Amino acid sequence: MKIDLKGYHAVVGGATRGLGLATARQLAASGATVTLMARNETKLKAARDLLPATEGQKHDYLEVDYSDFPGFQKRSTQFFEGKKVDILVNNTNGPKAGTVDQKSTEDYQEAFDLLFKTYHHLSHLLVTGMKSRGYGRILNVSSVSVKEPLPNLVLSNSIRTAVVSWAKTLADAVAPFGVTVNSILTGAFETERIRELTENQAQKSDKSLEELMEARKAVIPAQRFGKPEEYGYLMAFLASPQAAYITGASIPIDGGAIKGL
């Protein structure tokens, strides 16, 4: 099966590193024109230059800060006015680590603005055009914590669960129009994020970073972290016409780490 996204326009959040960049690269390699979103223009330009491009592909970027929702809302609304978008990958960095005892009501509000309101705003902004054209793909980057809450990540555990529930509701509403909505329950991958989280854990324990990284791998049945390109392959398939009958799903990609059904 060949994934051909030529003629489609994809928007990818958090696209200057890690799984966002891997997704953008695979969508571009499959023929899509990609708009990258993140807050650092220098990194955005560098990431755009890494994207495969052939005739007809004109990759672009939007510098925007997901943690500043009013600014995010204004800039994204202006930027996408009148633009055709077929594929939306909702993705941003997760909220800061911490336990139930460490987080205040204000922390939860900030996490809600970061993870929920940005996803909702972009989806609401772009889905009308998708419906009118009879084709659309909304892919929400989420976490295995939706199934099994992760230690020291109470904000992510809470808000990502809300996102998945909202996405399922949205999927039902737009399915008759040829638009699919799916959530990706992301496990441990070889990215800066996994290293940052493990470094934070190491600082609070008597174990080294290397020991903790190996311990993380040991509980994964595949006995390794995922490769970012493997994530990109899944996203490209779900963005394609071949995935038209998959919607409202929460799809784990975790090397078998989730223990529940």
Q: Which residues of the chain have pLDDT under 50?
A: none
Structure tokens at 61: 């970027």
| pLDDT of res. 193 | 81
H or E element at residue 53: none
How far, in Å, CA of 128 to CA of 130, rounded? Answer: 5
How far, in Å, CA of 105 to CA of 103, rounded? Answer: 7
Place of tokens 């059904």: 261
Q: In angstroms, what CA-CA distances link 209 with 96, 118, 194, 216?
A: 19, 33, 11, 11
- The neighbouring-strand residues paired with 180 are 137
| pLDDT of res. 155 | 95
3-state secondary structure of 189: strand
How far, in Å, CA of 163 to CA of 141, rounded? Answer: 10
- The neighbouring-strand residues paired with 61 are 36
Hey, what domains does the chain have and what are their CATH numbers? 9-187+227-251 (3.40.50.720), 189-225 (no CATH)
Radius of gyration in angstroms for the set of CA atoms belonging to the chain, rounded to a whole number: 18
| pLDDT of res. 55 | 87
| pLDDT of res. 196 | 81
Strands (E), the chain: 9-13, 33-38, 60-63, 87-90, 136-143, 179-186, 250-253
Do 27 and 5 form a contact (C-beta atoms < 8 A)?
yes
